[in-house]
Each structure stands twice: as structure tokens, then as C-alpha cells.
Amino acid sequence: MGSYVLRQNGHERSKKCTTKYWNMDMTSHAHRVLRYVSGVSMCLVALLLVSGCQSVATGEVEHDVSTTYDGNGVLDGAKVRLAIATAYSPEFAALIPSLENAREYRLNGVSYWTGRMRGQDVVLFETGVSLVNAAMNTERLLQNFDVSAIVVSGVAGGVDPELSIGDVTVPRRWAQYNETVYMRQAADGSYTSPVPTELPALDYIVPRGVRIARNEDATAIRRIWFEASPELLELADQAADRARLKRCDAEGLCLPEDPEVIIGGSGVSGSIFLDNARYREYLYETFEAQVAEMETAAIAMVAFSNDIPFVAFRSLSDLAGGGKAEANEIQAFQHLAAENSAELVFAFLDVYGEVTGRADVSPPPPSFCEINFSAASVYGQGALGDDLVEWLKSRFREDSDHRDYLMSRVPQALEIAALVDPDIDAQVLQVWGGYKGRTSPSLAMRFPITAPENRETALRIAAALGYTFTQESVIAQCDDFPGDDKLTASIDLIETGAGDVLSVETLKPVFGMMLGQADGNFNLGFTYYPAEDRFSTLGFTDDGDFERSAIRSVRDDLQVFSGDSAGLTVSETPKWVAYPFNNWREQPLGEAYLEQPGIADLKPGLDAIRSDIITELQAEFSAMQQE
């Protein structure tokens, strides 16, 4: 455990750092795990615990950060960063997948993540819900990082009746609406306050400002409003036209109209979850507020006290009690609202980089097409013969033998891709695949995609690989382009923390836990990318609802198993997906693959490669029989 002393705003403060991640109920989550993994042997669960949590004894991991503390009250080598503040997990989850070179600093149980986002150096964190959490953890941010500005991203309740769910507001000022006086009622029924008030009352409740001091102020002054930075508001205005706000979420829940960005107006914060139509109307009339939530005004006060520019993006997740729905809308729309706020953050960072000259000089990372396949020819008896197929199946019972064989086929896989497109710039990754309760080594071929037409190339490569290696099926998936009308959700579980929960060693128990979460639905398939610590599913079953529910539940359970040391996030990205397959019993010559456009013309070259593979395998088979 590391400790240090620093000075800020004239106060000496002693701090202690620990790595407790998200505070979760160990008992309830462990019970869920044991219930859902009843079909997975407990020895696999033990393997998960041993390989992922060896240093965890009590559920809290202590981490000495003194090695990264520079002695001046600044972590992370004193690099100047934009701070991005969120309140809770849906807001954080909409941003963390875009953080490159992520590194986590844990201070008194709160995680601060540094890295690069859209070419900018940032520090991303969750304040926790409530004004007190927001103020405390934003102050801790400024004590430990060199921050040039604070950007708040998240959801809010809509107060202005002209706004709609999904809209993103960027208020120019913020106030705390429940800094109030509860007034005394006189005999005649009137209310009186012993202290000055500045705003109209609602019955016996009247808001008032708060006194706040800064180093350069001789005395504390009373303020109701805290202003967002005019310069950051201008950048937000420029970013508004670039932001790709979403009308529908990944589950197909859609808004009646396209959401909009609204710059200006007022926002209010309070330590109250607002779901009351009368109080909503009072806030609109008294504060002329667009939105109400529970953190930003406190962050604004901390920014004001420390002379740090700030701006807040708040997307409407609900109407704060003013909607026509019988219940608050936040459960339905919080994820969509969080994603829309994040989209404005991304556009803002682009503009910020251009205006400040801090734009990333490197081009944005390319989009990719990927083909997931296995070069193990265990189908296609018509092409290989029954004896050879059965021998191959027996040969691949050991994962190490299977993996070695697959890697020996990488040159032929690249040769097949070059037949489809001589200019292809492809690479082959060693991955793991799971389907129908089984896990095994696999391969993924990836190449850059610059236009939607590249999908046809991916589909042709997939068919050519399936034909040559006599695969039952091959999956082709490509990153989306604007204007796509039908995409599949890629749902990823990503590990960015200090734990090692996702690994080849823990692969089978993790997959077993997912199947357990889904009550044994063995249609689930996945790909595990060891180099990326990413566990990915594609929404083929039930439009992705099944995968989404299973992978989120596993995330929660694994977080408990790791003693909260594994930084696990769930990310969803839209993918274009094709799934060519061939029934080798009914189509023994690979007819389905040959029906794909352009594959029949490549048949002579593909047959030549397959002939070489068969000759090699037959020689090995004969040598084995002679032994």
C-alpha cells in the first residue's frame, strides 16, 4: 500500500491507494455462479480461481502506486490529459472500449483509466452516483493527474418538455437544486426563511446558492450557477454536426425520431432521483432547466474551485416523471442515451484535437474484415476418404497437436486468399473457437476493409477456405459502414485490469459458465483472442439477446471470482456477417461453396492446394500405420 502527501488549494492532504475495483455483493454473486455453473465441473471452476486469482485472499487487492507517483501530486508521469467523467457503469461502458493503451490507477477504491481516445491523452473514470461521490472523486482526480479540462458524459432526466429521449444536451450552466431551506410555516399558513433566498419556493422548500472559495478569492462567495467553459461549449457546437447519434439500440429498441444535440440552456443536479411530474415542472419554471441529474453541478463546483475548464454532455434517458409511460423510462433507454452522449464525446475529441493542434497525426485505425475458420479437414469424406477423416479426428483430441497442425496450414490459407484477391494484405491469427459445448484451437484471417464492396471479398475467401479445407462452415464478418440496414451485434467481453481471468487456461470454464447462464443453450458460439484478452460472440441466436444476457452475467460473476481485480467490460459493435456452409453428406464435392460468386472459376487452383494437403496427410497416415 502506497501513501503520499501533497498540497492543493492551500491544504495538506495525506492519501492512501488501494486497488479495490467495483464494490460488489460477494455472497449474492457467488450464489448465482454456483447455481448457473451446475453443469460445469467444480474442478474447472477451481482452475478459474487458481489461474485468475492467485493473489486474491479477501476480495480486496492492495497495490502500491508509489512507483508511478512522481512526488508532485501527479500520477502517470505528469502527462497533461483531458478528464472524462462518468457516473456509473452504462456511461463508462460506452467509452472504455475506445480507450487505447489503457492503464488503470486505483485510488481509494476508485479506478482512473489513462490512455488515448480519438488521438487525445485522456483519463476516464466513474465518479459514482451522487453529488458527494462526484465532488470527492473529481477532487481526487485533480490531486493525482495533470488535467487540462473536464468533460462529463452520461445520462439525465429530461426537464424541458421540448426535448425527447435520446437528445444530447450541453448546458452552459449548472446549479444544485436541493441546496435549499425548508421554511417555517407561520400561523396564517405562510412560509418564512431566516436566511436570504434567491429563487421562488415550492410550498415550504426554497433553493439557495452555496458559498465557495478559491485561492484567488479573498472571501467565499455565494453562487447558484456554475458556468461551463465558453471555449469548450464552442467546440461542442462544432462537434454536434459530426456526432453519429443513434436512434435504435443493439436490441432493436428505437426512438420515434432522430435525436438531436442541444447546445446551451441550464442543467440542474440534486441528490434525488427525480421521477415526479410536479417537481419536474417546478425545476423547468424556476431554473429554466433542460435536464436534471445527480452529479454535474458538483463536478462544476470542483472545476470552478480549481480553475479547470469543464463541459457536460447529458443525453436524455427518461423524462424525470413527465412522460406518458406508467413507469420511468430509464431502464429501457439508459444504454442508448449513454451511447449517444459517448458519440458526442468522440466528435468533441476530434474537434478538440484539430483546434488545439493536438490531433493525432497517425491515421485512424483501419476497419477490418475477418474470416474465422479451422484448417482441420475433419469433414469431406468424399474428398478425403473415411479413413483419413477418422484419423484426423483422433489426431486432434489433444489441443496442442490440433494447434500445431493449424499453424502449419497458415501458408496455404494465405495462398488461398491470394487466389481470391492477389492484392490482399491478410494476416492469420491463432484464436480459440467454441460451439455446442466444445472448445478448440482455431484460426482467424483478417484484412483491412476500405469499402462495403470488400465484404464480397471476405465472403469469397470464406467460401474458398471452406472448400479447400473441407470445412462444415466458415464465418465472415466485417466492420460496419454508414448506411448499413441489417447488422449483427458482436458482443465482446474485454479484460483490461490487473487480473488474468480470460486466458487459454480458463477458457473452458468461462465457456461453461456462459452455457450455464443460458440454461444449457448449446447453440452459443464464441471466438477467444488471446493476444487481445477478448472473448467475442456474434448474435446468431435470438437476435443477440441470449449472448448479451449470458456474457453480462458472466462478467459480473468473474469480477467476483477475481476479487474485483479483473477489469472486465462488455462492448457491443455492429458487424456485417455471412455464414457460408456446405453439407458434406449431401454435397460431397463442396457444391454449396462452389455456388458462391467467383469460386467456381477458382476451382482448379483450390483443387491443386487441396491435392497437396491430401497427399501430405496420406503420407503421414501411411507412416503412422507402418509404425
Helices of type H across 447-505:
454-468
What are the residues whose beta carbons fall under 8 Å from the beta carbon of 586, sequence distance 6 or more?
A: none
187 CB-near residues (< 8 Å, 6+ apart): none
Residues in contact with 126: Cβ distance below 8 Å, sequence separation at least 6, in sequence order: 85, 86, 87, 88, 89, 91, 92, 110, 111, 137
Cα(606)–Cα(216) distance, integer angstroms? 76
* Mean of per-residue pLDDT scores for the chain: 77
Please provide the DSSP assignment of 9-78 as one string: TTEEEEEEE----S---HHHHHHHHHHHTTTS-HHHHHHHHHHH-TT-SSS------GGGB-SSS-BGGG
Q: What is the largest CA-CA distance in the chain?
A: 110
Quote the CA–CA distance of 258 and 31 in Å, as a whole number: 42
Give pLDDT, residue 321: 65
| Helical segments of 145-200, H only | none
Per-residue pLDDT band for 305 (boundaries 50, 70, 90) equals confident
Phi, psi of 123 (to 5 degrees): -130, 120
Q: Per mean pLDDT, which of 16-20, 359-363, 461-465, 523-527 is the most reliable?
A: 461-465
Residue 5's pLDDT is 25
List of residues 6+ apart from 39 with CB closer than 8 A: 512, 515, 516, 520
395 phi and psi angles, rounded to 5 deg:
-65, -30
The three-state DSSP-derived secondary structure of 517-560 is HCCCCCCCEEEEEHHHCEEEEECCCHHHHHHHHHHHHHHHHHHH
Q: What are phi and psi of 318, to 5 degrees?
A: -160, 180
| Region 79-356: CATH code | 3.40.50.1580
Task: Report pLDDT digits (tens) over 539-591.
Answer: 766 666 777 778 888 888 887 777 766 777 777 778 888 889 898 888 888 89
Cα torsion through 154, 132, 207, 182, rounded to 10: 130
pLDDT band at 501 (very low <50, low <70, confident <90, very high): confident
Query: What does the pLDDT read at residue 499?
Result: 58
- Residues 344-402 pLDDT 10s: 999 999 999 888 776 654 555 678 899 999 877 777 666 777 777 777 777 777 788 88
485: pLDDT confidence band, cut at 50, 70 and 90? low
The more confident residue out of 594 and 541 is 594
CB within 8 Å of 327: residues ≥ 6 apart:
none
Angle at 172 between CA 166 and CA 178, to 5 degrees: 85
Write the CA distances from 416 to 20, 379, 580, 589, integer angstroms. 49, 19, 16, 18
Task: DSSP letter for 96, please.
Answer: G
Predicted confidence band of residue 534 (pLDDT cuts 50, 70, 90): confident
- Strands 289-293, 180-182: pairing is unpaired
Do the beta carbons of residue 539 and residue 491 sit within 8 Å?
yes
Q: Could you read off the pLDDT of 252-294 as tens digits, one per residue?
A: 788 888 889 999 988 888 888 867 778 888 888 888 888 889 8
324: which 3 cell numbers?
406518458
Cell numbers describing residue 166: 435520446
Q: At what angle do helices 230-240 and 330-356 cross, to 10 degrees?
A: 110
Residue 112 CB-density burial (10 A; 0-12 exposed, 13-18 middle, 19+ buried): buried
Q: Where are the domains of the chain?
A: 79-356, 367-626
For residue 12, the model assigns a pLDDT of 32
**Which DSSP string corresponds to 182-197?**
EPEEPTTS-EE-SS--
CB 574 within 8 A of CB 489: yes
Set of cell numbers at residue 136? 470527492
- Determine the 3-state secondary structure of 278 from DSSP: helix
| pLDDT for position 169 | 93
Which residue from 229, 176, 219 is spatially nearest to 199, judged by alpha carbons?
176
Task: For residue 78, give the C-alpha cell.
Answer: 505528469
Q: Is the pLDDT of residue 199 over 70?
A: yes
Nearest to 37, CA basis, from 516, 439, 509, 510: 516
* 544 closest CA partner among 561, 526, 529: 526
428 vs 247, more confident: 428
Torsion of CA 318, 322, 325, 326, to 10 degrees: 110
Going by C-alpha positions, the residue among 19, 24, 45, 43 that lies closest to residue 33 is 45
To which H or E segment does residue 315 belong?
Answer: strand 310-318
Query: Cα–Cα distance between 269 and 156 in angstroms, integer?
Result: 9
Considering 179-188, 494-503, 594-603, the range whose residues carry the highest mean pLDDT is 594-603
Instruction: Give the pLDDT of residue 62.
Output: 30
Q: How many CB atoms lie within 10 A of CB 307?
A: 9
pLDDT tens per residue across span 89-134: 889 988 988 888 778 887 877 888 888 898 888 999 999 898 889 9
pLDDT over threshold 70, residue 10: no
CA distance 551 to 521: 13
Give the pLDDT of residue 57. 29
Do β-strands 168-170 and 261-263 pair in parallel, antiparallel, or remain unpaired? parallel
Give the C-alpha separation, 536 to 183, whole Å. 57
Residue 595 has pLDDT above 80, yes or no: yes
Between CA 67 and CA 72, with CA 71 as vertex, the angle to 5 degrees is 135
Max avg pLDDT among 3-17, 32-46, 214-228: 214-228
> Amino acid identity, residue 239?
A
Determine which helix (DSSP H) or strand (DSSP E) holds 284, and give its type and residue range. Answer: helix 277-287
What pLDDT score does 276 carry? 76
Determine whether 421 is exposed, middle or buried from the number of CB atoms within 10 Å of its CB (0-12, 13-18, 19+): middle
